[in-house]
């Protein structure tokens, strides 16, 4: 059998979520993907040096990673998630209830009993 040469190409992109006037990220996806998916892929590739891969990062994604890294953009999702529940204002509680289930329910909510229980309590 003839050898087949394969190169994996990953195209990493995110829309520009930064609100330049407020200095905040309107969605948490850049941070969330950076701390899980992007890091995990590079880590796995490091474990298999014979595997060839190309990572393509769009300019808007690189800019947002830089903004998050140097602290010029605030992540309201992270700030609210880090606050003790007892200290959240009613508006912040509503924000969490509205936004913190924006994930694939079948694969990212239901497998976690307490998270799924909160989704059911919130209503779908």
46-95: per-residue pLDDT in tens?
999 989 899 999 999 999 999 999 999 999 999 999 999 999 999 999 99
Strand partners, 66: none
Residues 23, 76 within the same domain: yes
Strand partners, 52: 7
For 7-54, write each residue's pLDDT tens digit.
889 999 999 999 999 999 999 999 998 888 888 888 989 999 989 899
pTM of the model: 0.78
Number of Cβ atoms within 10 Å of the Cβ of 117: 11
Which residues span the domain enclosing 96?
Answer: 84-124
Number of domains in the chain: 2
Residues 30, 69 within the same domain: yes
- Asked if residue 59 lies in contact with residue 78, where contact means CB atoms within 8 angstroms, the answer is no
Q: How large is the average pLDDT for residues 2-11?
A: 90
Residues 31, 67 within the same domain: yes
Residues 60, 121 within the same domain: no
């Amino acid at each position: 059998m003839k050898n087949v040469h394969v190169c994996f190409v990953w195209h990493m992109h995110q829309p520009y979520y930064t609100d330049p006037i407020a200095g905040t990220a309107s969605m948490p996806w850049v941070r969330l993907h950076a701390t899980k998916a992007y890091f995990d892929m590079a880590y796995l590739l490091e474990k298999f040096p014979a595997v060839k891969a190309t990572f393509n990062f769009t300019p808007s994604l690189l800019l947002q990673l830089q903004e998050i890294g140097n602290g010029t953009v605030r992540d309201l999702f992270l700030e609210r998630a880090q606050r003790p529940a007892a200290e959240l204002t009613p508006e912040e509680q509503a924000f969490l209830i509205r936004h913190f289930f924006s994930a694939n329910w079948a694969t990212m909510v239901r497998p976690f009993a307490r998270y799924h229980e909160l989704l059911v309590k919130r209503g779908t």
